[in-house]
Amino acid sequence: MKHLSIREYIPVLLYTIMGVLIGIIVGAVDAIFGRVLLGITAFRGEHVTVLVPFLALAGVAILLLYQKISPKSQKGMGLIFETGFEENEEIPKALIPIIMVSTWLTHLFGGSAGREGVAVQIGAAVSHTIGKKFEVISGKTEKNGKIFLIMGMAAGFGGLFQTPLAATFFALEVLVVGALFYEAMLPAMSAAFTASFTSHLLGLEKFSVSFSDTFSVNPQTIAKLILIAIVFGITGGAFSYFLAFAKEKLAKFIKNPYRRIFFTGIILSILFLLLWKGRYCGLGTNLISASFAGEKVYVFDFLLKAVFTIVTLAAGFQGGEVTPLFSIGATLGVILASDLGLPVLLVAGLGYAAVFGSATNTLIAPILIGVEVFGPEHVVWFVIICMIAFACNGNKTIYGKQRLSKMSDFNRIK
């Protein structure tokens, strides 16, 4: 058996220390981004009819920001994946302020979008920049670049949602499905926990729900659980498929990006106002709150939120997909639980995690989201439901550049 010398542990220790630094910086930026976004959400809620009609103009302003300052940054998460696979050398520093401002504009004027993709891009841009400086000392290697990228992604996710374990494994498993780059695990964990602590210290609150619901284990309940898991998996896979479909078809139908975002923005703003005056605008946190507070959830909430999010993002507005996915899963869970006679809060929580996992094509991260948001006492149910949902998503993903493991590039690195 090979014995490792102390010298061989030094790189891991250095990466872990760098993870703390990255976590502090990214956690602070996440806190600013997240708190402003929540303030914008509250402000829009009080002035829906005044702000939403200007969504189309906000879209044009977003495109102008990217075109004038950093066109490359418009690739978004695709740019992060390209960097992870060494198809791209640089993540522009300008990405950070542009993605923050453009996401704030999207939400201020009512676009249906998320925030996770933004936080992950922020984290990746920060860590990539620091990693370039680190290369001056340690030398440039493929492994260095991947470790720093994963640290940044974990910090971005962890700082925003304050779920550091889920953030760590999301960053580890999202680039290549079925492969984990184990050498990045400890550094990513240090970055995620530090970012989570930092953002919390700076006033960004974590969403969590506590409930005592459980299932009585019998053949009928097991059959119902299998059914809801399949539905969650298909829902996440369908969201991913139609997001890619809408982006492709809308780009062909309206080739000019300015016209595309402007005319789609007009249609969206009209529909947002007609359908319950902004119920489907923004993150979807209102739908999540309704799901866990026993408020009214309509049978079509999950579907309309999915459609509006897909069209918003396909048009070119900025933001992530994950928080809308949480709301889609939670509201769908409420409906399924009500129809099948299952505990509503627990099934809503399972949908919250499982739809996210099936849409991102990840398995460990959604299980840990369930544990960190809803409590470890429900872990068995999250494992079962997320595994079945993951198996039923058809290998679809919201990330077009994501790869499936085939003797992964990551595992070839020595």
Tell me the C-alpha distance between 99 and 22, whole Å.
19
Domain boundary among 145, 178, 207: 207
Q: Which CATH number does the domain housing residue 144 bear? A: 1.10.3080.10
Domain that holds residue 345: 219-404
DSSP 361: T
For 75, residues 6+ apart whose C-beta sits below 8 A from its C-beta are 82
Residue 364 phi, psi (nearest 5): -70, -40
Q: Classify 282 in phi/psi space as left (phi over 0), alpha (psi -120 to 50) or beta.
A: left
Residues 25 and 130 in one domain: yes
Does 410 fall in a domain? Answer: no
Query: Alpha carbon of 95 to those of 14, 66, 102, 123: distances in Å?
Result: 27, 9, 10, 11
Q: Judge whether residue 334 has pLDDT over 60.
A: yes
pLDDT category at 412 given cuts 50, 70, 90 is very low
Residues 45-87: tens digit of each pLDDT: 999 999 999 999 999 999 999 999 999 999 999 999 999 999 9
> Does one domain contain both 43 and 161?
yes
Q: Which of 80, 383, 108, 43 is nearest to 272 (CA)?
A: 108
Residue 334 sits in the same domain as residue 239: yes
Same domain, 241 and 380: yes
Among residues 207, 230, 262, which one ends one of the domains?
207
In this predicted structure, the answer to whether residue 402 has a pLDDT above a threshold of 60 is yes
Give burial (CB, 10 Å; 0-12/13-18/19+) of 315: buried
Q: Give the model confidence (pLDDT) of 123-161 as tens digits.
A: 999 999 999 888 755 556 668 899 999 999 999 999 999
Is residue 4 situated within a structural domain?
no
* Token pair belonging to 396: 């679809």
Please state, rounded to an integer, the average pLDDT across all residues of the chain. 94
Say whether 177 sits in a helix, a strand or coil. Answer: strand
Is residue 411 situated within a structural domain?
no
Contact 123/154 with Cβ under 8 angstroms?
yes
| Domain co-membership, 234 together with 370 | yes
Task: Number of helices (H) and strands (E) in the chain: give both, helices first.
Answer: 18, 2
Q: Do 290 and 368 fall into the same domain?
A: yes
Domain tally, the chain: 2
pTM above 0.85, yes or no: yes
Instruction: Look at residues 152, 182, 207 and tell me which one is the last residue of a structural domain.
Output: 207
Summarize pLDDT for 176-194 with one digit per residue, the tens: 998 998 899 999 999 999 9
The label of the residue with tokens 């982006």 reads 247
Residues 58 and 196 in one domain: yes
Q: Are residues 225 and 173 in the same domain?
A: no
Instruction: Assess whether 252 and 375 both reside in one domain.
Output: yes
213 is a domain residue: no
State the pLDDT confidence band at 413, using cuts at 50, 70 and 90.
very low
Return the pLDDT at 42. 98
**177 and 314 share one domain:** no
Task: Kindly state whether residue 95 falls inside one of the protein's structural domains.
Answer: yes
**Is residue 279 a part of any domain in this protein?**
yes
Residue 212 forms part of a structural domain: no
